[in-house]
Structure 1
Amino acid sequence: MKAVQFSEHGDRDVIEYGEFSDPDPEPDEVLVDVKAGALNHLDIWTRKGMPGIDLEMPHIPGSDAAGVVEAVGEKVTRFEEGDHVAVSAGVSCGQCEFCRDGDRARCVRFHIIGEHVRGVHAEQAVVPEENLVLVPDHVDWEVAGSASLVFQTAWRMLIDRGELEAGEKVLVLGASGGVGHAAVQIADYAGAEVYATASTEEKLDYAKECGADHVINYEEDDFAAEIRELTGKRGVDMVVDHIGEATYSDSLKSLAKGGRVVTCGATTGGNPGAGLNRIFWNQLSVIGSTMATPGQVDDVLELVWDGTFEPRIRETLPMSEAERAHEMIENREGFGKVVVIPDSEYE
C-alpha cells in the first residue's frame, strides 16, 4: 500500500507519500480501506518531534480517517466487512482507576493514534475495535473522516469539563481552526451567547455561519478589550483557549468574576505566566481537557451524522500532496478542516 510517512523529524520536506508494508490486523483490530482523513495541528507537532515521545520510524501520521471495513480480527464483534467506520483516536488502557470509573479520557496510559503510535493517513490502516465508530452510509467520506477528533474534543471541553449552560457568554478563540469551529457550533447548540475571534473578515463571516453572535478580528483589535466593551465590562463566563502563551493572559482578562478558561492545547506554547493574582482575586478556574469518553464521542458524532453539526472543509487534497496540507495548517490558511484522500481514491 501507499502511505504518508516520514523517517525523521523536521520541516515539511521530510514528508513522503510512497510504499509501506501492508498492515495485518491483530485479533482485536480492524483493517480499514481508508477513503478520507483529515489533518489536525497535532500532526504538525508530531512531524516536528515532541519531547518524551519516541516514535517508531518511519511514522505514518494522521489521527482522523474514515473508510470501509476490509477485514476483522478473530476477537472483533462490533464490526463486519463492508461497514462504514470512522476513527476515534484516543486509546485508553481500560484497566486503571479512571477507566474503571467510566472516564477513559483520564486514563493514566492515554495515548493518541497518529501522535504516539502509527496513524491512519494511508490507503489502509489497522485500528483497534474500540477506536472505531459506525458511520451511516449517507454520510460523505470527507465529513466522516474529519469530524471525530475536533468535535469530541470541543464537546468534552464545553459540555463535560466546562459544564456550559444555556444563556452563558462564551468566547471561542481561533474560531477558524478545527477545534475552534466545532466549539462555536457546540456553544450555539447549547444556547450560549457566542463570541469568536479570527484573523480575517472571511474567517469571521464563516464563524457567524457556524453560530457566532459576535466576532472580533484579533489582528486588528485587542480581543480582551473588545470583550469588556461588548459585555458592558462584565466579561464572559467561559473562554475556549487552545492557543496558549499568546492568548492566555488576555483570556483571563476576558472573564467575568467566577469565570473559567477551558483549554485542550497550546499551539503557541504551553508555559505562560500563571496569572495567579487575577485567578484568585476574580475566583477564576482554569480547566484542562482532552478528547472524550466513548459515550461522549457517540453523543457528538450522532449530531454530526444527522447534520446538526458540520465539519467545514477548507480543502481536499490527494495524499501525495500532504506536504501542502501541512503547510495550510501551519500557515492558518482558510477555515475549517484540511482533508487528504488516497491518490487511488482521488478524483
Structure 2
Amino acid sequence: MKAAVFREIGREPARVVKIEDVDMPKIKPNEVMVRIESSAYNYDDLWAMYGHPIKVPLPHISGSDAAGTIVSVGEDVTKFKTGERVAIHPNLSCRVCNACNTGREYDCDDRLVWGYQTGPLWGGFSQYTHMPDTNLVKIPDNLSFKDAAAISMVGMTSWHMLVARAKIQPRQTVLVMGGGSGIGTASIQIAKLFNCTVIATAGNKEKSEKCYSLGADHVINHRLENWERKVREITKKHGVDIIIEHIGKTHFPSEVRLLRKGGTLVSTGATTGYESTIDLRYLFFKGVNILGSTQGTKAELDEVIYWTSQGKIKPIIDTVLPFGEVAKGLEMMANGTHFGKILLTPQKI
C-alpha cells in the first residue's frame, strides 16, 4: 500500500514527506483493517514533522483523523463486520486503568494519540490502517467519508471542551478564539446548539463572514490592538462565561481578563507559544476556572457523528487534496490561510 512517510525531522514538507510503498499492516485478533477513504490534517501533523514538542517514532506516518471502510476483522471482533463504514477514535489507551474505567480515557497514563505518537508507520495518511475495535465508531450512510473525517477530531475535542469541561448551559456567552480553525468552526456550532450567544474571532473579513454563516452572533478581529475592548463592549463589561482557547501565548492574558465572575477558560492548544503570564488577581478575585482539555471520549465522538448526520453540525472543508499533494496540505496548515479542514484522499494519488 502507499503511505505518506517521513524518515527525518524537518520544517520543509516537500523535502521531508514522501509517498512510499510500505507493507500492508497485519491485524491482531482484536483489530480491524480499514481502507481509508478520507483523512484530515491537524496541527499535530506539523508538530510531528517538526519533532517538537514531542519526538515521534521514525519512520513516521501522520494523520489522526480518518474515516473508511472495514475490509477485514480479527477473530475476536464481534461488534464490527466487513463492509461497515467507520470513523476512527484516535485516543489509544489501556482500557483497564481507573481513568479509562471512569470514562476518562484521555487521562490514561499510557495514552497515545494515534497518527501522532504512534509508530513506526502507523497513522491516517495511508491507504489502509489497523485499529483496535474499541477505537471505531460507525457512521451512518447519509454521512460522507469526507464529512466524517473533517469533524471527527475537532468535533470530539470541541464537544469535550464545551460540554464535559466547561459544562455549557443555554443563554451563556461563549468566546471562540480562532473561529476559522477546525476547533473554532465546530465550537461555534456546538455553542449554538445550546442556544448560547457566540462571539468568534477571525483574522480577516472573509473568515469573519464565514463565522457569521456558521451562526456566530458577533465576530471581531483578534489581531487588532483593541480586540479585547470590543468584547467588553459586546458584553456590556460583564465579560464572557466560556472561552475556547487554542491560540496560546499572545492572547492568553487578555482572555483571562475577559472572563466574568465564575467564568471558564478551556485551553486545548498554543499555536503562538507555550509560555504565558496572567494577573493572578483575576483568578482569585473573580473565581474563574482555567481548564486544560485534550481530545475526548469515544462516546463524545459518537455524539458528534450523530448530530452531524442530523444536519445540526456542519463539517467545514476548505480543501480536498489527492494523496500525491500531501506536502501542500502541511504547507497550508503552517501558513494558516485556510478556513475549516484540509482533507486528503489516500485512494487517489
1:105: how far off? Answer: 2.2
The 5 A counterparts of 1:240-251 are 240-251=244-255
1:345: how far off? Answer: 3.2
1:221: how far off? Answer: 4.8
1:302: how far off? Answer: 0.6
Is contact 1:66–1:145 with CA below 8 Å preserved after alignment? Answer: yes
Structure 2 residue runs of 5 or longer lacking an equivalent are none
Is 1:89 the counterpart of 2:90? The answer is yes
Q: Which moved more, 1:114-123 or 1:273-282?
A: 273-282
Write the distance in 2 (CA, Å) between the matches of 1:101 and 1:217.
40
Counterpart amino acid of residue 102 in structure 2: D
Give the corresponding residue for 1:299. Answer: 303
Is 1:3 the counterpart of 2:7? The answer is no
Give the corresponding residue for 1:192. Answer: 196
Query: Which of residues 116, 124, 130 in structure 2 aligns to 1:126?
Result: 130
| Structure 1 length-normalised TM | 0.96
Counterpart amino acid of residue 35 in structure 1: E
Write the distance in 2 (CA, Å) between the matches of 1:142 and 1:96.
34
Query: Which of residues 25, 33, 37 in structure 1 aligns to 2:39?
Result: 37
Q: Percent identity?
A: 36
Give the corresponding residue for 2:293. Answer: 289
Is 1:345 the counterpart of 2:348? The answer is yes
The 5 A counterparts of 1:230-309 are 230-309=234-313
1:85: how far off? Answer: 0.8
Counterpart amino acid of residue 82 in structure 2: E
Deviations 1:218-252 (A, max 9, x none): 23353211111111111111111011111101111
Write the distance in 1 (CA, Å) between the matches of 2:144 and 2:263.
38
Q: Residue 150 of structure 2: SS of its match in structure 1?
A: coil
Give the corresponding residue for 2:104. Answer: 103
Write the distance in 1 (CA, Å) between the matches of 2:40 and 2:292.
24
Structure 1 residue runs of 5 or longer lacking an equivalent are none
RMSD: 1.3
* Runs of 4+ deviating beyond 6 Å: none
Give the corresponding residue for 1:20. Answer: 22
Q: Which moved more, 1:149-158 or 1:254-263?
A: 254-263
Write the distance in 2 (CA, Å) between the matches of 1:19 and 1:45.
24
Q: Residue 179 of structure 1: SS of its match in structure 2?
A: helix
Is contact 1:223–1:250 with CA below 8 Å preserved after alignment? Answer: no
Q: Which moved more, 1:268-277 or 1:64-73?
A: 268-277
| Structure 2 length-normalised TM | 0.95
Is contact 1:35–1:345 with CA below 8 Å preserved after alignment? Answer: no
Is contact 2:34–2:130 with CA below 8 Å preserved after alignment? Answer: yes
Write the distance in 2 (CA, Å) between the matches of 1:300 and 1:141.
14
The 5 A counterparts of 1:49-198 are 49-51=51-53, 53-117=54-118, 118-198=122-202
Aligned length: 344
Write the distance in 1 (CA, Å) between the matches of 2:56 and 2:40.
20
